[in-house]
């Protein structure tokens, strides 16, 4: 598990506010997550 600094989490929250549409380019270690999967950010938690 990656642990981000408070500053990094704050930047992620600024970049990806609730409602932001995102598209998955790639992901390691998660089955069933195809490239191109789209979603909407609900929130960025303290883990980033």
Please report the pLDDT score of residue 41 as a whole number.
Answer: 98
- Which residue in the block uniquely carries the two structure tokens 């999967």? 37
Q: Determine the Cα–Cα distance for residues 24 and 36; give it in Å rounded to an integer.
A: 5
Which pLDDT belongs to residue 30?
80
Which tokens in the block code for residue 31?
A: 């089955």
What local confidence, expressed as pLDDT, does residue 7 receive?
A: 95
Q: Note the pLDDT tens digit of each residue in 4-48.
A: 999 999 999 999 999 999 999 998 888 888 999 999 999 999 998
């Amino acid at each position: 598990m990656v642990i981000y600094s408070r500053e990094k989490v704050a930047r992620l929250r600024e970049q990806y506010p609730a409602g932001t549409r995102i598209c998955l380019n790639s992901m390691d270690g998660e089955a069933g997550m195809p490239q191109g999967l789209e979603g909407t950010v609900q929130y960025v938690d303290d883990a980033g």
